[in-house]
Amino acid sequence: MWITRVFSSTLFLAAIVFTIPLAFDIGGRTCGLAFSLSLASYYFFYSALRLATPDGSRFRYSLVTFIAWTQWLMIPTLLIWSLNKFSVDSDNSSGWVERTFGGKSAQDTSLQELIFGRGGLAEAATVGVWDKLLRWSTPVFQLGEGFCSLLVIQAAGQITRWLVNRERGDTWMIGLLLFSASVIANSVYFLWRITKFPEISNGDAMLIGGAIACSVFLCSWGIGSGRGNPVESSLLFAYVTLCIYQIFTDYQPSGAVEVAPVPSPPALPPLPPILMASYTTLIHALSTLPTMIHSGFNLMVGAIMTVTPSVIISLAYRVFVMYASARIIPAIRDSGVRALSQAPSLEDNDEAGQFLGFLSWFSPSILIAVYTSLLMQHFASTNGDTPPGDWWRTQDGAAGGNFWRWINLAVTMVIYAIELKISKEDDDTRLMGHWKTD
């Protein structure tokens, strides 16, 4: 059963990751926002229906099962609908409601054009509100990522301390020291790569230097005072490096000069004629496949090329830390390592568990919102709306992510410094509680 859930979740993530940027790239900003909103609304309705379905209702259970099996048909349907109705090259002579339902009575009427036309009240109340909601949610997503990252870092530190204090702790200590050293070495490598970026200005260099100096001070303070450990400090340093790296790069390789390959004689003799004839026949058969398959393959390749590594890595990291935090918070409540295996539920006694359980039901819609917000930041920066390196100018439009990454970096280090200040040496009550095995 769990294999089916994992496979279904993987397909859902792949469909979301590839179709939303495709709508932005082909249809434009409004088309991408309309497709994202329709997907989020569809999964919100699906999650609400699952949540409201009682165990004894066969009709609702059948409806939920039907929606679950038809979601793979709904995703391409909504994509085609968005491209047809909101694309930049679609028919602008009529409103999107008229073009959707084919009504003729609404044509040439100024009132309905004002309400349902392109850029009218209906579009402003749906796509426009969704656009503003995602813009204003950028600080929430970024600061939430920092807080969840801090939870994961401190959880890793407490787990490693618990492992070292058990039997054969010396073996664990040596292995964890090697792990921490490798994390720091990789972080230093990426810091060296940051220094090679040509768009870094003097102000950016001062901010980078200040952030690295503060992180080194916090890591040294935690290890030297005994209130932290090498694993915790190395992960904090790695997160600081990750935030800085995300500000100044798109994870694309540096532009290298392409050198024409020098022709060389074949290392092996030609294949026999019978094999060459079979190969030619196979290629001809593949070339005669239906045009739809070729178009679908080209569409898939275009979708993959549209998504940049920066967006994928940011999305994967946020999903990981948010999922891990949903398991860590019950461990804080129960002060037990076994609580990590318990997912939050609406049946929990405390309000935090109930709130996390409520969010877990609507996680597909939240995931779509987070991913769309990342894509908006990416497309705003790549379209040349803001000069590279001037992070203080990225508050216009949807490109405010870099500014809030700096704010998130400062807030995360301040919270970690406060945690180190109020904790005692070898204190296991810090944010994660003690790790008992009974």
Higher pLDDT, 288 or 56: 56
- Mean pLDDT (whole number) for 89-95: 50
Q: Give pLDDT, residue 280.
A: 65
> Is residue 357 within 8 Å of residue 348, measured between CB atoms?
yes
- In the chain, the percentage of residues whose pLDDT exceeds 90 is 18
Among 155-164, 242-251, 391-400, the range with the most confident prediction by mean pLDDT is 155-164
- The residues spanned by each domain of the chain are 1-90, 136-251+290-438
Q: What is the pLDDT of residue 210?
A: 93
Q: How far apart are CA 240 and CA 245, in angstroms?
A: 9
pLDDT band at 386 (very low <50, low <70, confident <90, very high): very low
Tell me, what's the pLDDT at 242?
92
Residue 390 has pLDDT above 70, yes or no: no
Does residue 268 have a pLDDT over 60? no
pTM of the predicted protein model: 0.75
Is the Cβ–Cβ distance between 86 and 34 less than 8 Å? Answer: yes
Confidence of residue 38 (pLDDT cuts 50, 70, 90): very high
pLDDT band (50, 70, 90) for residue 315 = confident
The pLDDT, as a whole number, for residue 388 is: 41
Phi, psi of 391 (to 5 degrees): -70, -25
Q: Provide long-range contacts, Cβ within 8 A and 24+ apart, for 198-203.
A: 199/248, 199/388, 199/389, 200/248, 200/389, 201/389, 201/390
Please name the residue that has the structure tokens 């409540």: 333
pLDDT recorded at residue 205:
87
* Residue in 123, 48, 149, 130 with CA at minimum distance from that of residue 411: 149
Q: Which residue has the tokens 């939870």?
A: 151
**Distance of alpha carbon 196 from alpha carbon 255, whole angstroms:** 13
> What value does the mean pLDDT take over residues 409-415?
93
Higher-confidence residue of 277 and 149: namely 149
pLDDT of res. 89: 60
Question: Two tokens at 434?
Answer: 């003690």
Interval 208-226 mean pLDDT: 92
User: 3-state DSSP: the chain helix, strand, coil percent, rounded to 5?
Assistant: 75, 0, 25
Segment 170-200, tens digit of pLDDT: 888 899 999 999 999 999 999 998 888 877 8
pLDDT band at 286 (very low <50, low <70, confident <90, very high): low
Average pLDDT over the chain reads 74
Q: Mind listing the pLDDT tens digit for each residue in 248-261?
A: 876 554 444 444 45
| Cα of 212 vs its chain's centroid, Å | 25
Residue 91, helix vs strand vs coil = coil
Question: Measured between alpha carbons, how far is 44 from 363 in angstroms, rounded to an integer?
Answer: 9
Radius of gyration of the chain (CA): 26
Q: Name the pLDDT band for 209 (thresholds 50, 70, 90).
A: very high
pLDDT at 385: 47
Q: Which of 55-59, 137-141, 269-273 tops mean pLDDT?
A: 137-141
The stretch 131-159 carries a mean pLDDT of 89
At 288 the pLDDT is 61
Alpha-helix residue ranges (DSSP H) falling in 349-436? 351-361, 363-382, 401-422
